[in-house]
């Protein structure tokens, strides 16, 4: 199924239309990446889930007590530090819809994912430029992939990460999965509007992501680095220096914990 430009409808119950406070929470899930878009009351979009069960604890903390439904799961790319936690979420929550790239993946975690999605019969959409999700005044635009990547074999799945921009109240947020220089270059070449006040730093602060050119184009006031204890040297000095030189304030989830924007 090829989805062209469209507005993406969430499956909501009648009593879910009440507009409440909206917020975005960048979660401290250790070395990994997970973000909750809380669209008010009982509507949640979860973008990646870190690895392991930590995400369940966080959802318990931030979701209403009796709410066991996640309206949309977005998997930016099928690496364990993003997908592992979402597999746990699939086990314990009712997930109403999934947005992913569907790139070819044979790992154990992908097999678990496929099995759970099939068992629970969860509708999947494949991400593509131009898709939009509108809910309670929050506008999410899919900026990458440019084309449907279903079953495409990638050499480096980081560079097939879903890139999305969220406009919410006075702020805009750019989330770039684990995209590296190669994917940033593609976005710059196409001259897509990637400006945002808040940038979620890609690939946990790898030196091979978030170039100076990319940072200048995004022009964020604030950067969020989702990172935990790791052996890769994340976040790297190179990346931190780029942020400092451009006077971008930054917060690391390993030092600051969960970061809530209202």
How far is the C-alpha of 235 from the C-alpha of 63, rounded, in Å?
29
Beta bridge partners of 144: 163
Given a contact cutoff of 8 angstroms between Cβ atoms, the answer to whether 252 and 227 are in contact is yes
Q: Segment contacting Zn ion (CB under 5 A): 61-69, 73-81, 109-117, 145-153?
A: 73-81
* Nearer to Zn ion among residue 135 and residue 199 (C-beta): 199
Backbone angles phi, psi at 140, to 5 degrees: -110, 125
The least CB distance from residue 188 to Zn ion, in Å, is: 22
Going 19 to 20 to 24 to 29, the CA torsion angle's sign is: negative
- CB nearer to Zn ion: pick between 39 and 89: 89
Query: HSE on the CB side for 54, CA within 13 Å?
Result: 21
Comparing CB distances to Zn ion, the nearer of 102 and 205 is 205
Contact segment (CB under 5 A) with Zn ion among 6-14, 18-26, 80-88, 213-221 equals 80-88
- Does 51 participate in binding Zn ion (rule CB under 5 A)? no
Contact call for residue 48 and Zn ion (CB under 5 A) = no
Count how many residues are written for the chain. Answer: 262
Query: Which of residues 63 and 103 has its CB atom nearest to Zn ion in the complex?
Result: 103
Q: Which is nearer to Zn ion, 35 or 42 (CB)?
A: 35
Q: Minimum distance from CB of 29 to Zn ion (Å)?
A: 11
Site for Zn ion in 156-195 (CB under 5 A): 178
**Which of 51, 81, 100, 128 contacts Zn ion by CB under 5 A?**
81
18 C-beta neighbours (distance < 10 Å), count: 10
Provide DSSP, 30-71: SSS-EEEEE-STT-EEEEEE-STTHHHHHHHHHS-TT--EES
Q: How far is the CB of 167 from Zn ion (least distance, A)?
A: 25
The residues binding Zn ion (CB under 5 A) are: 81, 178
């Amino acid at each position: 199924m090829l989805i062209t430009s469209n507005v993406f409808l969430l499956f909501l119950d009648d009593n879910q239309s009440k507009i409440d406070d909206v917020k975005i929470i960048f979660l401290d899930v250790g070395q990994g990446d997970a973000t909750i878009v809380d669209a008010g009351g009982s509507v949640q979009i979860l973008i990646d889930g870190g690895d392991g069960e930590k995400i369940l604890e966080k959802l318990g903390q931030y979701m209403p007590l009796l709410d066991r439904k996640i309206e949309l799961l977005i998997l930016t790319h099928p690496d364990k530090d993003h997908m592992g936690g979402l597999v746990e979420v699939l086990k314990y929550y009712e997930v109403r819809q999934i947005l992913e790239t569907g790139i070819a993946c044979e790992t154990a975690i992908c097999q678990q994912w496929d099995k759970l999605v099939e068992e629970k019969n969860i509708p999947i959409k494949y991400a593509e430029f131009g898709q939009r999700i509108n809910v309670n005044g929050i506008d999410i635009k899919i900026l990458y992939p440019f084309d449907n990547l279903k079953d495409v074999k990638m050499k480096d799945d980081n560079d097939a990460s879903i890139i999305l921009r969220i406009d919410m109240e006075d702020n805009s947020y750019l989330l770039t999965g684990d995209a590296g220089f190669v994917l940033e270059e593609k976005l710059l070449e196409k001259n897509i509007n990637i400006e945002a006040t808040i940038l979620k730093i890609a690939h946990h602060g790898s030196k091979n992501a978030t170039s100076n050119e990319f940072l200048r184009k995004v022009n964020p006031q604030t950067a969020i680095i989702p990172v935990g204890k790791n052996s890769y040297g994340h976040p790297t000095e190179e990346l931190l220096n780029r942020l400092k030189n451009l006077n971008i304030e930054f917060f690391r989830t390993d030092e600051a914990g969960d970061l809530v924007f209202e």
